[in-house]
Amino acid sequence: MTKTGDHPSAELAAFVSQLRFDDIPAEVVARAEEFFVDWFGSALAGKGSRPVAVLERFAASMGPPSGPSEILTSRGSTSPLFAALVNAAASHVVEQDDVHNGAVFHPGTVVFPPVLAVAQAQGVSGRELLAAAVAGYETGIRVGEFLGRSHYKVFHTTGTAGTVAAAAAVARLLGLSPEQTLHALGSAGTQAAGLWEFLRDAADSKQLHTAKAAADGLLAAYLARDGFTGARYILEGPQGMAAGMSQDADPTRLSDRLGSRWALAETSFKFHACCRHTHPAADALLQVLQAHDLPAGEISSVTAHVHQGAIDVLGPVTEPVSVHQAKFSMGTVLGLIAVFRRAGLDDFAGAFRDPRVVAVREHVHMTLDDEVDKAYPTRWIGKVTVRTRDGRELYGRVDEPKGDPGNTLTRAELEDKVLRLARFADAGSDEAVRALLARLWGVAQWERAGAVLASAETAAA
C-alpha cells in the first residue's frame, strides 16, 4: 500500500482505492457477510416507522419514481442517492444495528445502504460489494477512533465519521483513484454532522444523521469521480474536522495498521434493542437476577457503574416519552430486564410505561466508575450493585457484553434475530425472510447485484 508520511488521510485514501477482495482475509469476509445480514434485518425493522415514512415521502417527491436501487421498507425503487438515504434511516430505528466499541460508531447503518444502492445501480458482483463495505468499515472506525472521546460528548459519531465511511465505501465501489478518493473524503468531511441534543426532545434526528451520512457520502464519491475536489486535509488539517470537533484527536489512528489490523472484525452485534451504552449494565443485572432468582418486586435500587460516555448520552433522558427515547433511558432498560429478563423490540413497544418497569426505573442510578471509565471505549465493562428490599447487596459484572467479538452471536442466532426484526415490522412472512436469508448469505457468489427482495420473494413463492 502507498505510504504518505505525515498525511495519514492520504494513506487512508490510498488503502481504500487499492483494496482488492483477495487482499481481505477469509475470516473478515465471513464477518462482513454476517454484518450484511444483520444490517438487512435492522433495515426491514424500520418499515412503518414514522420518521422513515416521512423520509420515504420526501424521496418520492424529490427523487425519481423508479430506478435501479431498492427502498427496502416500501419495496419501491429509486436512484442510489434516495435509496441510500431511506435505507440508512430505516436501519437505525430499532437500535439493533452493529457497533464498534473503540470508535463508538455504528458502521453497518451508514456503509451498507450506499454500498447496496450503488452496487445495484452499477451491477457489480457481490465480491465487489463486500470489498467496498470493508473499505467503509475500516475507514469509518478509524475516523471515529481519531476523533476521540471528546467528540462523542457532543457529536453523534455515526453521523460524522459515518459520512466519511460512506464516501470511502462508494469511492471503492466506483473504482476511484487514491487522489479522487482523497477528494471524496474531503467533500464528505465538510458535510459531516450530527448532534446529541435531539435526545432531550425525543426528536427524530438520529435517523436523519444516518440518512444524511449515507447520502452525503455517496454524493461526495460521485462528485469526486467527476472531478470535484475536496479539502485534502479535511480530517487532520488546522481547520478540519478534528480542529472543530475534538479536543483529543489522534491522527495516528487514521492509518493504524492498514491492511493488517482489520477493524471490521472487532465490531459487535447488538443483542438488546436499545442504546449500546445500556448493554453492559443490562447483562450484569441479568446475571444477578438469574443467579439469585430475584423478582423485580424485590429490588429496592440498582446502581449502574458506568463510563462517562454513558452518562453524557443517557443522563438527559429521565422520563422517556417515546419508545425511541426509552431506548436511551438506563432506568427503563434495566426495568425491562428486571421485569421481563429481556429488553427486546416488543418489550419497548408494549411495556416501557408498564408500572412495574417504571417502579424499577425510578430507583436506577448511574455512577461514574474509574475502572469502567478507564477501560472505555476499548472495553465496555458492565457492573451493577443491586439492593434488595430485605437488605441484601448483590453485585454483577460482565467483561464482554453479549454480541462482542468474544461473546458473539452465532449464525443461527443472527438468523433468529433477522426473523424477529422482520416480524416486528410485519416486513415479510417467515418463509419469505428465510428465502431472503439464503440469498444474503450467498452475497459473495452474486455475479451481479440486483433486486434482493424481489429475488427472495420469487424464491419463496
**Residue 295 contacts by C-beta under 8 Å, 6 or more apart in sequence?**
none
**Angle, CA of 49, 460 and 403, to the nearest 5°:** 55
> For residues 70 and 16, what is the distance between their CA atoms, to the nearest angstrom?
25
Domain boundaries of the chain, sorted by first residue: 8-266, 276-402
Fold designation for 8-266: 2-methylcitrate dehydratase PrpD (1.10.4100)
Do residues 182 and 233 touch, judged by C-beta distance below 8 A? no
Q: Which residues pair with 302 in a beta bridge?
A: 364, 386
DSSP letter for each residue of 84-146: HHHHHHHTTSSS-S-BBTTTTB--HHHHHHHHHHHHHHHT--HHHHHHHHHHHHHHHHHHHHH
In this structure, the number of other CB atoms found within 10 A of the CB of residue 179 comes to: 15
In this structure, the number of other CB atoms found within 10 A of the CB of residue 384 comes to: 26
User: Which residue intervals of 196-240 are DSSP H helices?
Assistant: 198-201, 205-225
In this structure, the number of other CB atoms found within 10 A of the CB of residue 291 comes to: 11
Determine the pLDDT at residue 454: 78
Could you tell me which CATH number the domain at 276-402 has?
Answer: 3.30.1330.120
Q: What is the pTM of this model?
A: 0.95
**Residue 409: CA count within 13 A, CB half-sphere:** 22
> For residues 111 and 330, what is the distance between their CA atoms, to the nearest angstrom?
28
Radius of gyration of the chain from Cα atoms?
A: 21
> For residues 349 and 192, what is the distance between their CA atoms, to the nearest angstrom?
31
Per-residue confidence in pLDDT tens, the chain, 461 aa? 344 468 999 999 999 999 999 999 999 999 999 999 999 999 999 999 999 999 999 999 999 999 999 999 999 999 999 999 999 999 999 999 999 999 999 999 999 999 999 999 999 999 999 999 999 999 999 999 999 999 999 999 999 999 999 999 999 999 999 999 999 999 999 999 999 999 999 999 999 999 999 999 999 999 999 999 999 999 999 999 999 999 999 999 999 999 999 999 999 999 999 999 999 999 999 999 999 999 999 999 999 999 999 999 999 998 999 999 999 999 999 999 999 999 999 999 999 999 999 999 999 999 999 999 999 999 999 999 999 999 999 999 999 999 999 999 999 999 999 999 999 999 999 999 999 999 999 999 999 999 999 766 655 65
Determine the pLDDT at residue 5: 62
Determine the pLDDT at residue 6: 85
**Residue 279 contacts by C-beta under 8 Å, 6 or more apart in sequence?**
270, 271, 272, 380, 382, 401, 402, 403
The helix, strand and coil proportions of the chain, stated in percent and rounded to the nearest 5, come to 60, 10, 30
Determine the pLDDT at residue 147: 98
Please give the C-alpha separations between residue 149 and each of 21, 165, 251, 253, 429, in angstroms, as whole numbers: 32, 18, 14, 13, 42
Tally of helices (H runs) and strands (E runs) in the chain: 21, 6
Residue type at 177 in one-letter notation? S
Residue 283, φ and ψ in degrees, nearest 5: -65, -40
User: What are 158's three cell numbers?
Assistant: 455515526
Please give the C-alpha separations between residue 363 and each of 38, 304, 318, 339, in angstroms, as whole numbers: 34, 11, 11, 14
